[in-house]
Amino acid sequence: MKKLIILSIILSASTILLAGNPDRIGQAGATQLNINGWGRSSGWGWASVSNANGLEAMYTNIGGLAYTQNTEIIFSRTAWLMGSDININTFGFAQNLGGNGVLGVSIMSYDIGDIPITTVEQPDGGLGTYKPTFTNIAAAFSKQFTREISGGVGFKIFSEAITNVKAQGIALDAGIQYITTFKKNQKLKQEDVKFGVSLKNIGPDARYAGDGLSVKLQNPITENTSTVNQRAAKFNLPTLMNISASYDMRLDKNDETYFHRLTPAFTFTNNAFSSNQFTIGAEYGYKSLFQLRTGYAYEDGITSYETRTNAFTGIMGGFTFEVPVKKDSETTFGLDYSYRHSNPFGGSHTFGVRLNIGE
């Protein structure tokens, strides 16, 4: 408990440095680092920071990665902002190393499609196409220090490039989770109350470089042509901090069973380069076979098309089906789906498949 209090104070003190600032919207780069490509946690957004567990916790709160039982593999595909023709592929692998430690690796790749090449002389194209590439690669380690406290850190490498210009950088994520209970049931061993704090995208500034920033200029006197290299300005990373809480409510009247669960959750997100957000969400679960979730992310101006500063309206939802691969097997196969409403565009759909391999 002392470790949690000390770390929470340190993270809370960083709020001064991470104060939400809508006046700085658009000044950060690599904003794709804040896109959730997983099919389960994206169904209720940042609301899941306090109770995320397993591989998907690498995105929301690395502290939850420590609760990976053995081996977990996930692949998901997102149709991002329908109508934009952008698709996101996300793959991850988590392995329990023993000693309450878990290692996770993930890769996220963006398929933006082909874009026509245009110039000042040929603004209508006809010169072929180019294809931007955006890739995030992450590795994280999480450990359960006590029955109540877990924490972890992760490192990310991001790359965004076109044919002749590229930007690369690194970032650090960190998170902790604390679990306690109001109603102790030694037989069920079910924790009821969960808290979480996570920091994302802490890292040095990055900049673009490449031949695409070079310009050929002609001297009007000598008529000689020379190449002038331009230097792009550095950009900050989209740093943010989450503070979250959730409560697992048992809906069963019989104390000997735990079939029905309802989890309300709340998260405050402190953004360094955009408006702060308040996310509320809820998840209903029947055993471990089915989960239904929904969420709403509020920020200043989000209720009006004229004042909203992003495409999303804050409404989201999703569901999960997960079944054993055979009777009495600890290995399970799951299907995840989430939807995030947006205006303009037709929202974002994420489909995921997961395999939890038991011992």
Q: For 324-357, what is each residue's pLDDT tens digit?
A: 988 877 899 999 999 999 999 999 999 999 999 9
> Which residues have C-beta within 8 Å of that of residue 123, sequence separation ≥ 6?
none
**Residue 119 phi, psi (nearest 5):** -135, 175
Q: What percent of the chain has pLDDT over 70?
A: 91
Q: Of the candidates 99, 108, 179, which has an alpha carbon nearest to the alpha carbon of residue 142?
A: 99
> Which residues have C-beta within 8 Å of that of residue 16, sequence separation ≥ 6?
none
* Res. 10 pLDDT band, cuts 50 70 90: very low
Question: Which pLDDT score, from 0 to 100, does residue 137 have?
Answer: 97
Domain edges within the chain: 2-357
Question: Which pLDDT score, from 0 to 100, does residue 9 have?
Answer: 43
Residue 207 DSSP SS3: coil
* Res. 256 pLDDT band, cuts 50 70 90: confident
**0.75 exceeded by pTM:** yes
Distances (CA, A) of 23 to 15, 19, 27, 263, 273: 17, 11, 9, 35, 8
CATH architecture of 2-357: Beta Barrel (2.40)
Distances (CA, A) of 103 to 58, 138, 226, 249, 355: 10, 11, 51, 30, 16
Q: Of the candidates 150, 133, 191, 120, which has an alpha carbon nearest to the alpha carbon of residue 57?
A: 150
* Res. 36 pLDDT band, cuts 50 70 90: very high
Question: Which pLDDT score, from 0 to 100, does residue 5 have?
Answer: 45
Strand partners, 298: 278
Question: Which pLDDT score, from 0 to 100, does residue 189 have?
Answer: 53
User: Which helix (H) or strand (E) is 93 found in, with range?
Assistant: strand 86-98
Please give the structure tokens belonging to residue 106: 């993930």
pLDDT in tens, 280-317: 999 999 998 999 999 999 999 999 988 888 899 999 99
